[in-house]
Amino acid sequence: MNEHDLIQSVRSKVDIVDVISSYIPLVQKGKNYFGVCPFHDDTNPSMSVSRSLQIYKCFSCGASGNVFNFVMDYEHITFKEALELLAKKAGIEVKGLKLKKENTQNEPYYKMYELALKFYQNNLNTSFGHDAKEYLKKRKIDDDVIKEFDIGLSLTSMDSLVKLLTDKGYSLDTLDKLGLASNEHDTYINRIMFPLWDLNGRVVGFSGRIYDNSKLNKYLNTKETPIFKKGELLYHYHVAREEVRTKKYVIVMEGFMDVIRASTIGYRNVVALMGTAMTKEQANLIKRLSNDVILCFDGDDAGRHATLVNGEELIQLGLNPKVIALENDYDPDTYIIDQGKERFDALVENAIYYSDFKIQSLKKDVNMNSDIDKANYINQVISEAAKINDEIRVEIILKNLAKEFDISYNTLEKRLQDVKEKAEIKPDKKEVETLPSKEKPRRSKYDLAAMAIIYYMLKSDKAIRLYRREELYFPTADERHLGSEIDYYRDTYGSLEVADLFTYFQDKKNLSSLLTEVLSLNLKEEISDEELEEYADVIRSYRLNEEVKRLQKMIKEEVDPLQKAVLAERIRKLKMGVE
């Protein structure tokens, strides 16, 4: 089976509705299915999935494509990985298949970082790495962990990596741009090197840690580069993604050392923010991993604050995270070292809901001798309880408040209802901020005629024959390109399924976008020869008008009266239809 046939076979044997509904809930409305779009901050279902066409489209952000596109974008994986994943679902063997390599403009940068990684790894395993290995051993990082996380070492030399990479043909400007050099010197000098990966597991940065008594900053991280945007990545995502499928939940930590330590006791479904502040991009990545999220940050005040802030970010996305509250200012790394696997297992097993953690945190600053403080605290707790959908949990919270502060349960319940009613009246800020429907570009009658012909080229041979016979010249380059590609595809493969075109156009986003717009046209399924000819007449008139404009411009620029007369006569004949 060749590459095209295999891809087409996999696509045809998996149903897009079944696949997408395994990621997000879908509800049938008419012949299509609708769900909340996972590719933007969506609150109202704006993604439509067509079983008949085997494609999806979001009417807010414009995301569209076939089953491969959805899985690639949702999972943040390559086409090859999406093909393998869906082939497994379809029970089709793809082992040994060699797909065309996906080249990107950033490919040289990935290769550069791969060379740097191998260089650092090799350094650690030479005599230069003795002290660094001893340090790691004291931190209870053994050879297996070093190998699993590709830990390496930068040398004391000021330019060892620069020499290696410039000898390989990379310029100093490129090294500086990618954060590997500065002023012709290595960025990282005498540091233990921890690689940072992108969502697909490619090395895109480093964090270098001092291990001697240097007074330099403990950690030095790669700056923002064309391939490293810290706020758009999660450390260990590419590994956690597979583990989460099995364990069904994800643990979010602050630093990569926390993740490394957790992995040593069997927790590979763990990611790190590489900081305390969670970006919207990171929150969406976490949501795509799992709806069951456990936050495990440091046990100090900064860690508790990070838990509260990041918990709110996840709540805004409709998640109900749980929290592991570490004691005695522990961070996850040192807690696991000191207390061991069983104690950490118990913390995971008994993680509390974020709302309960927040209520506990609110109480820390309450002056129990102040009636005002107590009243404010009670109102804050009731506001949190109003967000909880579990009636039993809400009742427990209210009963605890009633008992602790000697207040009537009925009073608290009435206050809860008041808060809920106000919340219903208040406009939903999140809904206001939701992306507006993506505006369609204004189209001329010529564009609409071209798009209509393309629409019917997808459905009937007679439209294809008309396109070929008349050599129709569409108004825009994208329309001409799309028409030509559809004609070529039909001629090459003998048949055409719309969903397969999205795979065919995976490297041509402009054509995929135009194809989506064409499919959104409110046109009837069947068209007569006469109606098709009417669309063709509009395209012919476009070409005629363009030729007239060209000749009129030539007349303006022409100085010879006789030549002007010749051009004017050509225009007259064109308009009469005799030329």
510, 518 in Cβ contact below 8 A? no
Q: Residue ranges per domain, the chain?
A: 3-90, 107-228, 234-321+328-347, 365-433, 445-576
Pick the CATH number of 107-228 from 1.10.10.60, 1.20.81.30, 3.40.710.10, 3.90.980.10: 3.90.980.10
Helices (H), 91-187: 107-124, 130-138, 143-148, 160-167, 172-177
Report how far residue 488's alpha carbon sits from residue 327's, in angstroms, rounded to the nearest whole number.
66
State the pLDDT confidence band at 427, using cuts at 50, 70 and 90. very low
Q: What is the CATH number of domain 234-321+328-347?
A: 3.40.1360.10
Residues 79-83: contacts with CB within 8 Å, 24+ apart? 79/503, 79/506, 81/200, 83/6, 83/7, 83/10
Query: What is the reported pTM?
Result: 0.71
Amino acid symbol at 387: K
258, 333 in Cβ contact below 8 A? yes
pLDDT at 295 (0 to 100)? 97
Dihedral sign for Cα atoms in the order 458, 459, 465, 469: negative
Once rounded to an integer, what is the mean pLDDT over residues 47-56?
Answer: 93
pLDDT at 435 (0 to 100)? 38
% of the chain with per-residue pLDDT over 70: 94
Predicted confidence (pLDDT) per residue in 318-329, tens digit: 888 999 999 989
In degrees and rounded to multiples of 5, residue 253 shows phi and psi of -120, 180
Predicted confidence (pLDDT) per residue in 493-511, tens digit: 888 889 999 988 888 888 9
Predicted confidence (pLDDT) per residue in 516-569, tens digit: 999 888 888 889 999 999 999 898 888 878 777 887 888 888 888 888 788 787
Report how far residue 143's alpha carbon sits from residue 148's, in angstroms, rounded to the nearest whole number.
9
Nearest CA to 575 among 537, 547, 555?
A: 547
pLDDT at 440 (0 to 100)? 56
292, 323 in Cβ contact below 8 A? no
State the pLDDT confidence band at 430, using cuts at 50, 70 and 90. very low
Once rounded to an integer, what is the mean pLDDT over residues 199-203?
Answer: 91
Secondary structure of residue 546 in the 3-state scheme: helix
175, 163 in Cβ contact below 8 A? no
Lookup: tokens for 2: 């060749």
Residues in the chain: 579
Distance of CA 99 to the CA centre of its chain: 23
Secondary structure of residue 185 in the 3-state scheme: strand
Nearest CA to 496 among 444, 443, 456, 524?
A: 456
Once rounded to an integer, what is the mean pLDDT over residues 408-413?
Answer: 91
Predicted confidence (pLDDT) per residue in 259-310, tens digit: 999 999 999 999 999 988 999 999 989 988 888 999 999 999 999 999 999 9
Q: Which comes out higher in pLDDT, residue 49 or 546?
A: 49
Q: Which residue has tokens 């650690």?
A: 124
Pick the CATH number of 445-576 from 1.10.860, 1.10.357, 1.10.3470, 3.40.50: 1.10.860
Once rounded to an integer, what is the mean pLDDT over residues 200-207?
Answer: 94
Once rounded to an integer, what is the mean pLDDT over residues 386-405?
Answer: 90
Q: Is 203 left (phi over 0), alpha (psi -120 to 50) or beta?
A: beta
Does 47 score more than 60 pLDDT?
yes
- For domain 3-90, give the fold: DNA Primase; Chain A (3.90.580)
pLDDT at 198 (0 to 100)? 94
Please tell me the number of Cα atoms within 13 Å of 165 on its side-chain side: 31
Burial of 343 by CB count in 10 Å (0-12 exposed, 13-18 middle, 19+ buried)?
exposed
Contacts of 188 (CB under 8 A, 6+ apart): 154, 161, 180, 206, 208, 220
Once rounded to an integer, what is the mean pLDDT over residues 157-172?
Answer: 95
pLDDT at 235 (0 to 100)? 97
pLDDT at 442 (0 to 100)? 74
278, 232 in Cβ contact below 8 A? no
pLDDT at 98 (0 to 100)? 62
The three-state (H, E, C) secondary structure of 44-74, written as one string: CCCEEEECCCCEEEECCCCCEECHHHHHHHH
Predicted confidence (pLDDT) per residue in 23-38, tens digit: 888 999 999 999 989 8
Nearest CA to 312 among 299, 321, 301, 324?
A: 321
% of the chain with per-residue pLDDT over 90: 59
Predicted confidence (pLDDT) per residue in 69-119, tens digit: 999 988 888 888 899 889 988 888 876 666 655 556 889 999 999 999 999
Report how far residue 440's alpha carbon sits from residue 451's, in angstroms, rounded to the nearest whole number.
13
What secondary structure does DSSP assign to 249-297, as a single string? -EEEESSHHHHHHHHHTT--SEEE-SSSPPPHHHHHHHHHH-S-EEE--
pLDDT at 436 (0 to 100)? 42
pLDDT at 579 (0 to 100)? 59
Considering all CA atoms of the chain, what is the largest pairwise distance in Å, rounded to the nearest integer?
105
286, 269 in Cβ contact below 8 A? no
